[in-house]
Structure 1
Amino acid sequence: MSDSFKRNVSITGAEEFTNIKLGPRVTDAAGMLGVKEALKHGFKEMGVLRSMGALLKMNQKDGFDCPSCAWPDPEDRSPVAEYCENGAKALADEATTSHVGSTMFAKWTVEELSHLSDYELNKFGRLVEPLVLRPGSLHYEPITWQEAYGLIAKHLHKMDNPNEAIFYTSGRSSNEAAFTYGMFARALGTNNMPDCSNMCHESSGVALGETLGIGKGSTVLEDLYEAEVIIIAGQNPGTNHPRMMSALEKCKKNGGKIISINPLEEPGLVNFKNPQHLSGTLGSGVQMADLHLPVNINQDIPLMKLILKKLATLDTIDRSVFDHEFIEKYTTGYDAFLEDLARYDEGDLLRRAGVQESDVNKAVAMLRKSNRIIVCWAMGLTQHKNGVENIREFVNLLLLKGALGKPGAGTCPVRGHSNVQGDRSVGIQHFVDEELNERIKKHLQFDPPTKRGVDVVEAMEAMHNGKTKVFMCLGGNFLMAASDTQYTAEALQNCELTVQISTKLNRTHLVTGKTALILPTIGRSEKDEIDGTKRYFTVENSMGKVSQSKGILKPASDQVRSEPQIIAEMADAYFGGNHSVDWKAWSRDYDIIRDHIDKVAKGFEETSKRSEGHGYYLPNNVRNLDFSMLPGGKAQITINKLPDHRLAEDEFMLMTIRSHDQFNTTIYGLDDRYRGVYNERRVLFMNKKDMQELKLQKLDVIDITSEYDGKIRTAHKFLMVPYDIPRGNVAAYFPETNVLVPYNHFAERSQTPISKSVRVRIHKRQDAIVETA
């Protein structure tokens, strides 16, 4: 490819409308409708027998872990249906009998494919053979595995230094794959290991590390059953983590209370019909949230300060409101915190939060006498400029109430992908851990790099500035997951080689470097065998438990290979057999990899043995109330500033959200029945009164713009949908609105994108015709 050649690919795909239908919102989560939708997807993609056989083994002790979210499996799991609607959709999507190979790519250019929607791309099916897009070509063509490995090795050897390579990791890979990937990057000489955590829960890791000494949650599943109060902040469990609903149901039946804090009232926290129980299929279900606080976007800190201020006032009268024994023994910063809290005016905090004071008082009443409190959260807290501070403020509540290190209490960041936490535990990180490096030297006998690598934001900048030659993706859809889609696309196109280890076609296969490789891998549900020997993976769930995952289905083709095998064979090709690590042995025997994980990664021990059955928990200092690694040997009560967005008069605050028919960037369908939107994704939800002020009608066509640092970004052609959302706030689906999120605006210290608090303007169009169903 000459320097002047550039593929004319679309970075966002089709912008045509798809015959929208607006209907009533379904207000009951799960139930028989959820079962029906789950089976419909499975039967359509896999057929009846294949669907039922796989579903019966998903999340079972002798089966495979769900490829969707990281919610833990209960000890007393159902033998028939230990999965949710979205898990069933994820399985159907992965195990589809639709396949795509070189024949299809011979018919379609990457330019033509790029003008399809993300939904249409995903529906092509499973990738079943290695493919290469050569310089100057518009068509992928077949390539052998050995040729692909040789091409990668050639490009890596041509680099001037190891930091010209970037190794990105998605959250769906196994511990074995992630460990092998991370060790290959370090053996090459770089810590350039950005991962999807950088874009979602990095704020959680930083905040929890600063305050409690570990970047993970402290609860186990059974804690939710015993909690007196569960706060669910910035999270939509009914769509994003539906199996969590069963745990919340048990909490309710045990007398616990649930407080929902979110700009949108989501159906999963209104009413839940558990399809595993007769009452959930025939009855009226369970009312979940006892209290919903419709907070303004990213005004959680003012709300929490108001609650804490009211609790502090009550504590001056009744010294049992706060747990003073716990505070004295395990924390530091209490006096400074109270002094800072006294500076705030309750009226101003209430105005910023945008909720009713009577509702705040109800929350205070629930929390006043409770000390078994759990805070659950997701992207609604993390993806803001002050994402780290958001979480620290909720941790303050737990510390003041002594709600840590006991049954029914603690922190519960709800991870969005099935092994994103495991990836970090086995060493996928861009920062330097000297103790980890020492263990690598001792047990793998090579010197790992000592210079900090790049995270996702820095990776985008490095590629955009021409400092990166090779970009590898272990799963995922980097282009559509990252912020600032146009900028990210330009960055990818600057690379000499982009490599995707993937199961399904996505847009990052089309917006590529000069040369691009697609390396097809097996899915979580598929058998992993080599020379007749069965192999299994391990994963870590959202609460730190490591367990086995054994696929049962026949792989999509005899050309697909497992992720650990692909990575190890890639490393072997690069080093040519001349390295302290026997990469070839790693590619064949995962017990060897797990033995090294036990020696190198912190907390892992006898993993091949202990991961059987229920699995085992990794160490967690908070559960033991051990804060010795923190300043003064105590947990940190922190002082956190109020957010400062400074919206112009004509600006709104946008939060990006998922529809019910998607998981992360994978679009399963075009319906969002919980919000009453069918057959369309290009919509903007806005309060009716705001629409009236702007003279906008339902289904008017608009453009959305954001302006940061003098640059205007535009998301074209969206439909207005009136919705019950606080005034001044709007919401729209990602990845369609990621184009509006500036790459260089992110959370302080974690560099997580501000995807949940983007300043935007709305512009009515006059040139679009809308067809409705």
Structure 2
Amino acid sequence: MSSEQKIEFYKGPAGGWGALRSVTNALLRQDIPIKGAKTLLSANQPDGFDCPGCAWPDRNHASTFEFCENGVKAVAAEATARRAGPELFAKHTVAELAGQSDFWLEDQGRLTHPMAYDAASDKYVPIEWDDAFARIARHLNALPDPDQAIFYTSGRASNEAAFLYQLFVREYGTNNFPDCSNMCHEPSGSGMRPQLGVGKGTVTLDDFEKADAIFIFGQNPGTNHPRMLGELRAASKRGARIVSFNPLRERGLERFADPQDKLEMATLGSTPISTHYFQLRVGGDFAAIKGMMKHVIEREDEAVARGEPSVLDHAFIAEHTTGFDALAADLRAEQWDILVRESGLSEEQIRAAADVYLGAERVIACWGMGITQHQHSVATIQMIGNLLMMRGNMGREGAGACPVRGHSNVQGDRTMGIWEKPPAALLDRLQKVFGFEPPRRNGVDTVEAIQSMLDGKGKVFFALGGNFAAATPDTYQTWKALKQCELTVHVTTKLNRSHVIHGREALILPCLGRTEIDMQAGGQQGVTVEDSMSMVHISMGINPPASEHLLSEPAIVARLAAATLGARSNTPWLWLIEDYSRIRDKIEAVFDDFKDFNARVAHPGGFRLRNTASERVWNTSSKKAVFFTHAVPLDTPSHRARARFAKKGDTIVFTLLTTRSHDQYNTTIYGMDDRYRGVFGQRRVVFINKEDIRALGLKDGDWVDIQTVWNDGQERRADRFKLVAYDIPRGNIAAYYPETNPLVPLSAVAENAGTPTSKSIPVVLVPHELPIQKLAEDEADGMVAAA
């Protein structure tokens, strides 16, 4: 971590020697240079553990370790020699802990004992495991309605833990399963299921070897999925076109130096990544993609008029799809001036991107949260699907859709049934296999869970991993919601913000990490995870547990289920965790795609789950893939905010996108540097176009407060951020989360998905030195104040 606060723009490639130095520092910071290196060599091996970082798959999971800077940071943080035991909690009140930074809290090291909140002393004190489970069970069984309990899940939970968790909670009587999918890729599933019949990506890593063009929308792999750069580098070297759409210039999308390439490292060389880079406005992807499709239709019409070969795959469209004629008519009627204005790109740029698409026989489209965290994200994802299907780029080699997931098992958790809207077929199978009647009513997602707690209905909050208080939108409303609970419980490896924003009673339950040996009655156990491309593989820890008092996540769930359900459950909870192969047998009994689960996962590298869309089998209502027609969004919160302030010529409404730095993963902050963006020793910065700084009457380096422009009468603000002139389109700004999560209203969610729209929040900037004052809008407008 840099101690000096400075802005020094980075001119080198992603990866390279800078990544190696960062890895060395990460290992040294955790006091484990030798142990850490040994641990890393065992990552992603047949007899080793799976990286607890992102969900990008390994090229050869059975035999290689692919270098990843952020993966090293995740492993080092988990294998740290530092300990946060009872002595830490005896030294500090919760109020004192709450005053510390997020970085400081997690930097205290691994938790060692289960802890319970003592209101009289305002401290956490040790508690025995049996007493902790009894306390939770007492609260749960006292609730008059099981829907008053909320069960959150992080994407770090294994398949085995997630399966037991959803089974326990449904036997208890609720489908209240808010999870991290609700905050990231929920729109991907919501868009793809009705369009393709699956909610997952259709490609494999082998497809990346065959693609002629790769389109990347709203994603920064250099920071969020560094191993993906290896695939992009290989594609670039063989001549594939790589087209990136991103408001920010991101170094990982420009050049990459592979730290495992000795020649590249020795010569200080690098490989260009994007052949085309389009800096559209925040939220402009929809219009850009629709413009590309309009260009394709225009070229098709010209080809037909000239008697030339078609540019569309009419055979695929006729045999496998429905809805194309309506889409084609809509595209012909669309106006270029709208597409240009809303995308922030010129007509020439949009046509150039479309020409790359037309010139490629096999195309992959990738996207991340720069697509999913918008009001119109579901429609945008369906437009990506439309674009791919126009030329048959779905369900064949080297082509398809690739939503790039975040946490290591976020996709597997959903596969295991962590979903607040469970399909009837899943509930029917659970009833058949386990002999109980599952609840049929839908539960709450993440935003709905917060509202439930605010309304006083949600009374018990249980989190299997994650950092709910920091990850969620509308921070102070979320904190208020958690504090109103009768009991909050967190299963975790390290201390974080959520543990100091607690209910009237609170418990912290420390668990084993992915790197640690999990010994049960049947011997050492392994757990399984599913990556972004539906590959399922087993993970075996190699390090001794950080404390003898830790339990595995499956053991915590099973013991809690036994304590809560008692004799009314026929499930042999404690027997199941003696040998996790028994859990996998039950998974196989519930999910047909896991037939011969234990045998298949024993094979080095694991196995891939069936993906019907990749086989051109469409499990939609029409049994065909669907072309969806959508109008360009012209009434977003940013549109409305700018219209309201149009009469105030000296007030600029910006669209804020929240982002992570290179020294963090989700809400876990490893350090205070963002090397590729040139930010060191600090996090409270705003990336802004230099012309916008001038228009504000300010200068680079000045300090501002950020205030949300919304329509509910609630003031949302985040104070004292440094202006950093950056290559970003005018009218758009970017800043780090969780610092800017207070600016995201609880009601700002994606249509048909409920995901917080953290990538498109209308805000104004105010010089930090000035006193707060209202910019009056009449009260009927309900305009949030902006100073």
TM bracket, shorter-chain basis: over 0.9
1:113-133 CA distance string (max 9 Å, x none): 111111111111111100000
The DSSP-based 3-state class of the residue aligned with 1:121 is helix
Please report how far the alpha carbon of residue 251 of structure 1 lies from its aligned counterpart in structure 2 after TM superposition.
1.4
Query: In structure 2, which of residues 231, 242, 255 is the aligned counterpart of residue 247 of structure 1?
Result: 231
Distance 2:594 2:487 in 1: 35
1:681 counterpart residue number: 683
SS in 2 for 1:462: helix
Q: State how far apart, in whole Å, the 1-side matches of 2:355 and 2:214 are.
A: 14
Residue matched to 1:655: 657
SS at match of 2:754: coil
- SS of the equivalent of 1:398 reads helix
Counterpart of 1:547 in 2: which secondary structure? Answer: strand
Q: Deviations over 1:445-501 (max 9, x none)?
A: 111111111110110011111101210000000011111001100110111000000
Distance 2:673 2:346 in 1: 32
Asked if the contact 2:298–2:332 (Cα under 8 Å) also holds between the matched residues in 1, the reply is no
Distance 2:653 2:694 in 1: 15
Q: Matches of 1:626 and 1:427 in 2, distance apart?
A: 22
Q: How does 1:84-483 map to 2 (within 5 A)?
A: 84-283=68-267, 284-318=269-303, 319-483=309-473
Q: 1:21 to 1:748 in 2, by over 3 A?
A: same
Q: 1:614 Cα shift? A: 1.2
Return the offset for 1:576: 2.6
Give unpaired runs (5+ residues) of structure 2. Answer: 304-308, 647-651, 772-787
- 2:702 equivalent among 700, 703, 708: 700
Indicate how the Cα distance of structure 1 residues 767 and 120 shifts in structure 2: closer, same or farther if over 3 A, else same.
farther
Cα distance in 1 between the residues matched to 2:745 and 2:589: 41
Does 1:718 find its partner at 2:721? Answer: yes
Question: Equivalent of 2:609, from 600, 614, 618?
Answer: 618
Whether the 8 Å contact between 2:704 and 2:723 is mirrored in structure 1 is: yes
Does structure 2 conserve the Cα–Cα contact (< 8 Å) formed by 1:389 and 1:641?
no
Q: Offset of 1:276 from its aligned partner?
A: 1.3
Kindly indicate whether the alpha-carbon contact (under 8 Å) linking 1:691 and 1:722 is maintained by their aligned counterparts in 2: yes
Secondary structure of the residue that 1:708 maps to in structure 2? coil
1:20 alignment partner in structure 2: 5
Counterparts of 1:739 and 1:298 in 2: how far apart (Å)? Answer: 20
* C-alpha separation in 1, matches of 2:579 and 2:118: 33
Alpha-carbon spacing, 1:476–1:220, altered in 2? closer, same or farther (3 Å): same
Percent identity of paired positions between Structure 1 and Structure 2: 44
Q: 1:523 aligns with which of 501, 513, 523?
A: 513
Q: CA shift at 1:35, angstroms?
A: 1.7
Q: More deviation in 605-614 or 744-753?
A: 605-614
Amino acid at match of 2:679: V
2:67 is the alignment partner of 1:65: no
Q: Does 1:569 align with 2:553?
A: no
Task: From 736, 745, 755, give the equivalent of 2:739.
Answer: 736
| Structure 2 match to 1:35 | 20
Equivalence for 2:757: 754
In the aligned structure 1, how far is the partner of 2:296 from the partner of 2:31? 54
Give the superposition deviation at 1:285.
1.0
Aligned match of 2:748: 745
Q: Distance in 2 between matches of 1:258 and 1:249?
A: 10
Residue 682 of structure 1, CA deviation: 0.4
Q: Does the 8 A contact of 1:26 with 1:673 survive in 2?
A: no
CA displacement at 1:351 relative to structure 2: 2.3
User: How far off its partner does 1:19 sit?
Assistant: 5.5
> For 2:41 and 2:454, how far apart are their aligned partners in 1?
46
- Distance in 2, Cα, partners of 1:83 & 1:553: 20
Residue identity opposite 1:36 in structure 2: R
Q: Which moved more, 1:196-205 or 1:69-78?
A: 69-78
- Tell me how far 1:32 sits from its aligned partner: 2.1
Q: Is the 8 A contact 2:520 2:578 kept in 1?
A: yes
Match of 1:10? Answer: none
| SS of residue in 1 equivalent to 2:345 | coil
Kindly indicate whether the alpha-carbon contact (under 8 Å) linking 1:657 and 1:733 is maintained by their aligned counterparts in 2. Answer: yes
Q: What residue is the counterpart of 1:14 in the other structure?
A: none
The amino acid that maps onto 1:189 is G
1:49 aligns with 2:52: no
Work out the CA distance in 2 between the residues paired with 1:543 and 1:282: 33
Q: Which residue of 1 aligns with 2:781?
A: none
Deviation at 1:278, TM superposition (A): 1.9
Q: CA 1:402 to 1:366, structure 2 compared with 1: closer, same or farther past 3 Å? A: same
Letter in 2 for 1:327: I
Deviation at 1:78, TM superposition (A): 6.3
Could you tell which deviates more after superposition, 493-502 or 600-609? Answer: 600-609
**Distance in 1 between residues matched to 2:197 and 2:461, nearest whole Å:** 33
Give the distance between the partners of 1:94 and 1:157, measured in 2 at CA.
Answer: 34
Q: Is the 8 A contact 2:211 2:399 kept in 1?
A: yes
Tell me, in whole angstroms, the C-alpha distance in 2 between the residues paired with 1:762 and 1:541: 40
In the alignment, is the contact (CA less than 8 A) between 1:654 and 1:760 conserved in 2? yes
Task: Return the letter of the residue paired with 1:611.
Answer: V
CA distance in 1, matches of 2:744, 2:273: 33
What residue in structure 2 maps to residue 6 of structure 1? none
Residue by residue, what CA displacement relative to the aligned partner does 1:691-737 show, whole Å, maximum 9, x if unpaired? 00101112211110002223220011111111010000000001100
Q: Is the 8 A contact 1:371 1:402 kept in 2?
A: no
Contact 1:279 1:285 in 2 (8 A): no
Moved more, 30-39 or 735-744: 30-39
Per-residue CA deviations over 1:300-328 (Å, capped at 9, x if unaligned) read 11111111111111112334311111111
C-alpha deviation, 1:552, in angstroms: 0.2
Query: Which stretch of the first structure deviates more once superposed, 308-317 or 684-693?
Result: 308-317
Match 2:529 to one of 535, 539, 545:
539
Q: What is the match of residue 620 of structure 2?
A: 630
In 1, distance between residues paired with 2:356 and 2:35?
48
SS in 1 for 2:715: strand
Counterpart Cα distance in 1 of 2:362 and 2:31? 44
Deviations 1:596-615 (A, max 9, x none): 11111351122222112111
What do the CA deviations read for 1:571-610 (whole angstroms, capped 9, x no partner)?
1111234421011112322111111111113511222221
Counterparts in 2 of 1:578 and 1:351: CA distance versus 1, 3 Å: closer
Aligned counterparts of 2:264 and 2:407: Cα–Cα separation in 1: 27
Given candidates 603, 606, 610, the residue that maps to 2:596 is 606
**3-state SS of paired residue (1:141):** strand
User: Kindly tell me: are residues 43 and 532 of structure 1, through their superposed partners in 2, closer, same or farther at Cα, counting changes over 3 Å?
Assistant: farther
Contact persistence 2:46–2:63 (CA under 8 A)? no
Q: Is the 8 A contact 1:134 1:514 kept in 2?
A: no
Deviations 1:194-214 (A, max 9, x none): 110000000001001111011
The 1-side partners of 2:588 and 2:522 are apart by: 26
SS across alignment from 2:234: helix
Helix, strand or coil at the partner of 2:378: helix
Contact 1:42 1:91 in 2 (8 A): no
Q: Considering only aligned residues, what root-mean-square deviation do their CA atoms show, in Å?
A: 1.5
In the alignment, the residues of structure 1 paired with residue 249 and residue 628 of structure 2 have an alpha-carbon distance, to the nearest angstrom, of 29
**8 Å Cα contact 1:569/1:587 also seen in 2:** no
Query: Do the aligned partners of residues 359 and 504 (structure 1) sit closer, same or farther apart at CA in structure 2, a change above 3 Å counting?
Result: same
SS at 1:631's partner residue? coil
Which region of structure 1 is more displaced relative to structure 2, 475-484 or 280-289?
280-289
